[in-house]
Structures are given as structure tokens and as C-alpha cells.
Homo-oligomer: A and B are copies of this chain.
Amino acid sequence: MPEIKLAIDAMGGDNGPSIVIEAITECLKHPDSPQFLVVGQDDILQPLLQHYQIDKHPQIKVVHAEQVVEMTDKPGQALRAKQNSSMSVALQLLAKGEADAVVSGGNTGALMAKAYFQLKTLPGVLRPALMAALPNQQGGRSYLLDLGANASCDSETLFQFGVMGSVAAQTVEHIRSPRVALLNMGEEEIKGNDVVKNAASRLSESEHVNYTGFVEGNHLFSGKADVIVCDGFVGNIALKSCEGLATLIFEQLKSALMSHWMYRWFFRFLQKRTEKSWDRLKPDHYNGASLIGLRGVVIKSHGSASAKAFASAIRQAITEAQEQLPERIKDRVESVLLEQQ
């Protein structure tokens, strides 16, 4: 397998470049580590690379970029005014074929706009989608898309998301025939708005998708489907609502556990003994949303990601690049378009 080259936007994210360099240092320890094109301000990156003793590492190359997209920049402004930003330069390396994937923890709106503009969608793909893996009760992962690349979608776009999500689940999760479902406010055929109803009939007609019907929100985590499709408005709100609830539950748990030394002691003991089963629920393991449907692999890391979480996003990028996910999506979309003729 040819060596993978990753362009890393080292300046994005709330926690700055240090967690990015720490994550890269961690990834370099693996024997089949990729090449890293570390994109950002040279005078900030060099001292960090020296600190982690990887400034002379043969797998590391710094690519200087003068500008930085701030988390508060509006996507449109970032698109026009920040063409020499670390984010744009990283995407440019991908567009020119000098990198196989981009990882960025920067401003989500700006990344989606720039990636769409600089890379373009694959032939026949209507819209890119932001997709993430969620842990499920069956011990596996379910993909949810779109998480916010599109505020509203027509039924044809939702249908394509089903196709693209299916290819991703096959390619990355190695599921032979992924169960694709549409997120709806009920499971009966008559439920929901016209867009989901029409998407349902499109999905059930296609031979290229194993469509299994509507699922309700509680099935995001049940494992009833491998790929769950919705528009970006709904997906974004569903995921963030869950983030909010998780925060509430864990704060409550923490305050209950921290109220007495004995609880604290027991909690640490329990945490150690059950680490493995909890590990798969930790956000660190689910960091790395894929922006799919584009001519290249683009992974969005959470803005507040830790070094460990950023490393998960890097691994996601490596897998998608190795498995040539965009190429496979292109082939499937071509077959689907032929089927329609």
C-alpha cells in the first residue's frame, strides 16, 4: 500500500496547535504511521515540534500558512478573505493531490464552505454531508448523517445520503449489507413530512441500498440501523441535544460522587475496573466527523478535542484514505445514476 500523506490544519480548534502536535507525536509511534504535512504558522509550530522532539522526524513536513481561520469567523468571510489560512492551504494540498486527506479542528462552517469550494463534490453528488459514528447498545457503531452541512434537503439529497452512508459503513466498518434507515417522528409509513416520505420511496426502490424503513430518535443508539439519514438541521439538533443530556447526567453523577471521600475512592476504583466497557462511550473515541461526497477525504475534529480525540480523527482520516472512500462513493453514485436511467 502506498504511504498515506495527511495534511493537518494545525491552527484550528479551541485548544490551539499544541494538542494537534501532541496527537501527531502519538500517531508517529505507530509503525505504519502516515506522512504528516503540518500546515500553519511556522514560528508557532517549530517550537512545539521541538518540544515534542519531532521537528526532525522524517515523516513530518511543515507547510507554512500565514493566516488562521478563527472559530468566530463567518464562513463566507473566511472563504473570501482567508485563502492563505492553514485550513485553505491544507485543502489545497488535497485538491492538488499532494495529500490524501485533510484533518481540521477549525471552524465547522468555514471548513464545510472551503472544502465544498476547493474540492467540489464527486460527479453526480448533489450535496456533501457531515457524518459521524455513534456507539450503540449492540457494541457497534451507527453512522448518522447529515449533521449540519445542509440546513434543509430535498428527498433526492436524502436518498443520496443513504447511498453514501451505506458505502461508508461497508468500507470503514466492513458491514456487508448495511441497514439504512431514515430518521422520522414515527415508524409507520404515514408519519413525517413529504420530504422523508419521498426519500423513503426512493430508497426502497433502489437495489444499491438495503433500506429498512423509518426509525425514531431513540434508535440512534439502539443498533437497529447501521446508517441513519436525516437533514442537517435535524441531525445537528439531535446530536447536540444528546451532548446536552450527557453533560447533565455526568454533572449530576459527579456531584453525587464527589460529595463524600468514600464515594470518590469507590468511583476511582470502579472506573479502573470497568474502564474497557466505558471506553467505547467516551467522546474521544468518536471524534472525527467525515465530510463525505467530496473529491477527497476531509475529517472534522471537534473544536474542543483533546490530543487523544484528535488522534482518533487522524486515524479516521487514515482509514478513509487507505480504503479510498471517495472513489468508492463515486462508483456507487455512478451505478445509482445508471439505475435511474
Q: Which residues of A contact B (CB under 8 A)?
A: 74, 109, 135-137, 148, 151-152, 183-186, 188, 190-193, 216-222, 230, 232-234, 236-249, 251-252, 255-257, 259-260, 263, 266, 270, 273-274, 277-278, 281
Docked-complex contact A244 and B221, CB < 8 angstroms = yes
Docked-complex contact A245 and B220, CB < 8 angstroms = yes
Chain B residues with CB under 8 A of A218: 240-241, 243-244, 247
For the complex formed, measure the closest distance between the CB of A2 and the CB atoms of chain B, giving whole angstroms: 38
A121 to B154, CA, bound (A): 31
For the complex formed, measure the closest distance between the CB of A258 and the CB atoms of chain B, giving whole angstroms: 11
Contact check: which of B152, B232, B241 meets A217 at CB < 8 Å? Answer: B241
Closest B residue, CB atoms, query A270: B263
A186 to B236, CA, bound (A): 9
Chain B residues with CB under 8 A of A260: 273
Q: Are A278 and B263 CB-contacts (below 8 A) given A185-B233, A237-B185?
A: no
With contacts A216-B240, A256-B274, A257-B270 known, what are 6 further pairs, Cβ within 8 A? A216-B236, A218-B241, A221-B247, A233-B234, A256-B270, A266-B266
Copies in the complex: 2
Chain B residues with CB under 8 A of A245: 220-221, 242, 245-246
Contact check: which of B241, B263, B281 meets A220 at CB < 8 Å? Answer: B241
Docked-complex contact B185 and A232, CB < 8 angstroms = yes
Q: Are A192 and B233 CB-contacts (below 8 A) given A240-B216, A270-B263, A281-B249?
A: yes
A-B complex: 9 closest residue pairs judged by Cβ atoms: A217-B240, A218-B244, A217-B241, A256-B274, A185-B236, A217-B237, A238-B241, A221-B248, A221-B244
Chain B residues with CB under 8 A of A240: 216-218
Closest B residue, CB atoms, query A271: B256
A249 to B134, CA, bound (A): 13
